[in-house]
Structure formats: C-alpha cells, structure tokens
Structure 1
Amino acid sequence: MDWEHLDLSPQVSAALNKANIKSVEDILTYSVVDLQRITQLSIPDAHQLQKAAAVTLHKDKKVVTALDLYKDQATFPSQHQKLSLGCSILNHFLRGGIPLVGVTELAGESSAGKTQIALQLCLSVQYSAEYGGLGAGAVYICTEDAFPNKRLQQLIKSQHKLRSDVPVDIIRNIRFGDGIYIEHAADIDMLTECITKKLPILLRRGHIRLIVIDSIAALFRCEFTARDAAIKARHLQSLGAKLHHLSTSFTAPVFCINQVTDTMKETDSVLNHLGLQDKKVQPALGISWSNQLLMRLMVFRTPKMAPLPHTSGILRIMEVIFAPHIPPSTCYYTVDLEGVKGIDVT
C-alpha cells in the first residue's frame, strides 16, 4: 500500500509493508507494544504512527468520538434508541432498554425468569418505535427445551393490561403470534446454519429485528469437554463474530440466555475480569464468550414474596454486571400472569 498520505518516513513505510499491514484502520487495531513488535519500529515511532493514522481517519470522517455520538442523536439513532422491555421501571433501570447493536446476555439459574423476559421482548419488538418497539418480529432459537407457546399465549392475551401505555386498538391490530419465528437447534452446526443462512433472509425482508437464543450454553456444554477448551473458544469467537455482523448490518439486537456455573474453581483475577468476584455462581462459557458481549445481565430468584401491590409473585433481582452505558446496579422485579414487572423500591 502507498503510505505517502500519512507523511511517514521511508523507513516506517517499509516496515508497514514488511509487516503486511494493509490499511490505516489496521494500524489502530494494535496497541503500541504490539505495533512495535510486528513492525520492529521503536516505541516513539510506533506512537507517531498511531497518531498519524488517527489524524488521517478523523479527517476522512471515517470515525467519530463518543462525544459526537452523545451530542448528535439524530445522526446516530441506533446508539440512542433502545428496545423496550415492556415495563417503564425496567426500561428506566436499563437506560431505555436493550441496545439495538450488539449482543446482550441474560444469565441466571433455573426459574429466575430468563425465558419470561425473552418472551416479553419478542412481543415488545413488534410495537412501533413510538412505543419502544422496532415494528418487526423476532426469531426465537431454542437449543434445549421446547418453545413455551402456552406461556406466550398468556402474555399475548394480557398485553392490554401490561402495556397500559399503548392504546387498546393498536394492541388488537398486532398479530403477535405471527411475528415470532421459532427455530430449534439440536447442535452447533444447526445453530450456525440458522444464523448464517436463515436469519439473513428474514432480516433482509424486514420480517424480524430481534434475535433470541435460549440458551447459548446448552449446545457447548454437550459437545465439548474440559480438554476441548481451545476448540470451544474458537467456536465461541466465531459465533460471536457472526452474531455481531448480523446485529450491526441490520441494527437488530441479539439477546442470548445463558446458564450459570459454580465459581469455586475460578481464580479471583478471572472473576474480577467478569465482574463477578462476589458471586457464588457465574455465567457459563468463560472469558471467550464474555468478550463477545456488549452487555451482561444476571437475574436471581429470592425466597421472598414481592411487596404490595405485587402480591402474586416471587421477588426477583436483575443486576447489570457490565455495560458501556450503565454502571453495575440492581433492580427488583416480579413475574405474574401479565408478564415481567419492575418494582420501584422507593
């Protein structure tokens, strides 16, 4: 590549070509230390090279700063719009809901309410943007259990009670059941085929704008043993890349349900990296999968009943483990016949 537009010395240009770096964007994917190692340049030269690359990209308007994203909401709607959870309290807790670009994980033990939240998202996405939706359907990929159709029908019939913010006429005109596409993946190959072949067709046609996988850990726990850690990590990275590509290309949120494992065998440094140092359980699949996530949520079931007026459900907790726009925090919620409802502790 011709590096003259970066105003580099012949020595630095030759080092870039020798290292097989093909674009200005590639320069910024390396740390200074890595750049120095692969190009054999000095640390000062590597610093200067990165500064020159950053200035060039900024002039070409190929990148924007976080401040640009924050100030100009009209130009970057996907960075500010969220998918509603169908509950004003939970939406407020999550700064609007689920991000439209990226992979969001919901982890928790059995009966914590993970599937209930996923089903509610599948209904919420079908509303127009005015009511927190995306005006399209969802695909629900089951990897272990049968799709909970009976519970879905209960939620559909109760939408007029849960979504009091939406006019009844609008709710009646939405055919919620027709907007949810159900897939069953019995192994990793079937899951990969669904993601790479079936989902792009539905997304291109505008039939769906939400991808739900329930659960992401089931297939990997069945197909890989402890000895296959390296192979499993590669598969997880590949899966994460495919999901990110779909989410970015079609501005479609990906919502993955995950199982949990005991933390006794994990080191403090690993738990700290995952934001789980004080937890008795942690999401399955380890760091390889954690690095694919934009946001990680965990849910817990408590032994207490929800306070008045939520007397019909067990008190549960939703916790933000990490997210780019929300500090670690918690919110109480309950699940009843009408759906998932946040509880305002104030």
Structure 2
Amino acid sequence: MDWAQLDLNPKVVAAVRRANIQSIKEILCLSGPDLQRLTKLSSSDVRYLHKTVAAVVKNDPVVTALQMYNEECPFPTQNRKLSMGCPVLDLLLGGGIPLMGITEIVGESSAGKTQICMQLCLSVQFPRSYGGQEAGAVYICTEDTFPNKRLQQLIALQTMLRADVPADIVNDIKFGNNIFIEHVADVESLNCCISKRLPILLSRGLIRLVVIDSVAALFRCEFGASDSIAKAKCLQKFGAMLHHLSHRFSSPIICVNQITDAINDSYLAQSDFGLSGKVLPALGLTWSNQLLMRLMVSRTQFCVEGAFPGDESALSSGIVQRRMEIIFAPHLPQSFCNYMICTEGVRGMQKTGI
C-alpha cells in the first residue's frame, strides 16, 4: 500500500510504516487502542487515521443481493464462467463452469468425460468475450495416456465447433502450445504436482484451468477398506490444496471421477446424489464435501448417424446420445441436458428437463 497517496500527516504515515502495517484492511481490523499501541500515535491521530482509511473504502459502490443475483455487481471474477464451448451446455450450467471451486464430472466409462475435459482445455484459451480466460490448461492423467490424436482433431475443427467466434481469432490461437500434460502414478506425485508445479504456471498466467483425469484412480488403488480414516484425511488435504489454488488464481478445477455400484436400494434411497440407476460416485462423502458442483454424465441411447444436435425424432444405430445431469450446485437447480460427441467436439441437444 502506498500510504503517500492518502491524505495523511507525514508523521502518521511514518508511524504506520514503522509498525509494519501493509494494508488498509489491517488498519480497519485493529481497534483504536491496538492501533495506538502499535503506532505510538495519539488517540486523535488514530481516529483521524481510521476516518481517512474508512473514507477511501466508502468510495467503493455498495452492492445489493439483487444486483449480485442479476450479475450486475462490479465483481467480474465472481460473475464470469468458463464456457463449455457449446451454447446449449452453457445454458444448462448458467453460463458455464464457475471460475472458483472444484467441479466434478462423474460417470461410467465411455460416457464422454475426457472429451468434455479436452473441450474445456481448448475453450479456456479463447478471449474472455467468448467465454474463455485467454490462458492455457494443465491436464493431469492418472490412468490412461493422454489422447493426443483426438486433441489434434478437435483443434483442427475448432472453427466448425465455435461458429460464434470469428475464424481469424480461432486461427490465431496456438491451442496445442498451451496445454501442459502431466502423467502421475501415485498420490505422492499428484500432491507434488499440485503443490509445487501448478502454482508456478498459475502465478505466471500461463494457465487458468486444471483438469485431473481421474481423481478416483489413485486413491482407490493406494487405500484399502481398512484405511478409511487415512484416506479421508488425504482427500481433505488434497481438496484444500485445490481450493486454495482455485480461489487464489480464479481458476476452475475439473476433477473426473468414477462410479461404483450402490450397496443396496435402501442406501441409494437415503443418499443425496440424485443419480438415476444403482450407481454412486466413488470416494464417498468426504470427497463430495470438497466439491462446488457435481455433473453426472451417462450414455442413454443411439441417434441417427449424422443427425443434427437437437433432432431427437429418429433413433437408430449411429451417434450415441448422452446425458449431462446437474446433481448439485449452489447456484443451479437439478436438471439435465442431452448431448452428442461429434467429430468436432461435444454438442448439446436442445431439449432439456428438470
């Protein structure tokens, strides 16, 4: 804080600096007697200091809850979302993925989880006016090798998928140069990557998205049924690290999760996951409590090959129809949207439901 910019007596400024007070927030958090003890100023000087600092803060506009709800408040970071690269899916998610917090994508094998994550890695590189963050992404693989061939195909067809963006803007983005791929084989390596390497890339502004595919693989392998307490502590520590990075750098964290069979019908009925079918997300309630939003994806049926997204009239062998369901989110109701994975990427289908 440059105290010289405030309308303060030089004697007061010198006393504040000697007390090693770095910000306005510190002054407002200190009582008059505490501030007087630290700065050795008189009571009148302390009152003057408090009033001057409070006047600076008062110049910021007051925001009502209604303005925040209508996204009219002057906090663009809180209002902005990362686009899914598809207007239908963005509509389902209220604009896209929140910039702060952990979003989980859970579903069965071949439901399209990795396809969605790769599309997000491309979407984050677009200008902010088109739902991106003008930065790259880190993709952490814990199971299979990264599907680079499919990524190159998606990059080549971005102009077809993102028809809302001028072609010259799309062609100017070097998508492949801005995706950092990391393969980890155990929980220790994952924690090292999260705590040491990611902060460097985030602090330099090189990335604004982290994808972990999948979070369940390592924890399910390293912790047995008798290690539930140790596993819970490890998951809590892991979630805290991710939250810290996400909020510090306003960068969404996407975690892919696996599903597991429910123990019995009564357990499923008591659960609050809202999943259709006898399946539950892996890692249990300890991990669920770390999440901001949970999305469930699944395969539902087949569509006519080459059908345009939104056309659900004919069903036959061909392109697989899938479903994305909002299981929980603080800002969204439970709802769903069907989607297809086409050659150019993930496209939502127009019909939605609640």
**Shorter-normalised TM range:** 0.7 to 0.9
Q: Counterpart in 2 of 1:281?
A: 279
2:262/2:268 contact within 8 Å kept = no
CA distance in 1, matches of 2:217, 2:244: 22
The C-alpha deviation readout for 1:258-303, integer Å capped at 9, x for no partner, is 0000013485378533334x53111100000000000000001023
SS at match of 1:147: coil
**1:4 matched residue in structure 2:** none
Residue 117 in structure 1 maps to residue 123 in structure 2? no
Mapped partners of 1:200, 1:216: distance in 2: 19
Per the alignment, residue 328 of structure 1 pairs with 334
> Aligned runs of 1:130-279 on 2, under 5 Å?
130-265=129-264, 268=267, 271-276=270-275, 278-279=276-277
Q: Displacement, 1:79?
A: 2.1
Contact 2:194/2:242 (<8 A) preserved: yes
Cα distance change, pair 71–87 in 1 and its aligned pair in 2 (3 A): closer
Are the aligned partners of 1:316 and 1:332 in contact in 2 as well (CA < 8 Å)? yes
Would you say the 8 A contact 2:302–2:319 is kept in 1? Answer: no
> Which SS does the other structure have where 2:246 is aligned?
helix
What residue ranges of structure 2 are gaps of 5+ in the alignment?
Answer: 1-28, 30-57, 312-317
1:267–1:220 distance in 2 versus 1, CA, 3 Å = farther
**Which of structure 1's runs of 4+ aligned residues deviate more than 6 A?**
none
Percent identity, please. 58
Match of 2:101 in 1: 102
1:10-62 CA-to-partner distances (Å, cap 9, x unmatched) read: xxxxxxxxxxxxxxx9xxxxxxxxxxxxxxxxxxxxxxxxxxxxxxxxx9x9x
- Residue 345 of structure 1 and its aligned partner are, at CA, apart by 2.1
Give the aligned residue type for 1:336: C
Q: What is the aligned partner in structure 2 of residue 337 from structure 1?
A: 343
Q: What is the Cα deviation at residue 242 of structure 1?
A: 0.3
Coordinate RMSD, CA, aligned: 2.3
Partner of 1:18: none
Give the partner amino acid of 2:210.
Answer: I
**1:14-93 to 2 correspondences below 5 Å:** 67=66, 69-70=68-69, 73-93=72-92
- Aligned residue for 1:273, secondary structure, equals coil
Q: Specify the SS of the correspondent of 2:272.
A: helix
Q: CA deviation at 1:77?
A: 1.6
- SS of the aligned residue for 2:176 comes to helix
Q: Which residue of 1 aligns with 2:324?
A: 318
Secondary structure (helix, strand or coil) at the match of 2:271 reads helix
Report the TM-score, using the length of structure 2 for normalisation: 0.76
Mapped partners of 1:66, 1:225: distance in 2: 46
CA shift at 1:78, angstroms?
Answer: 2.2
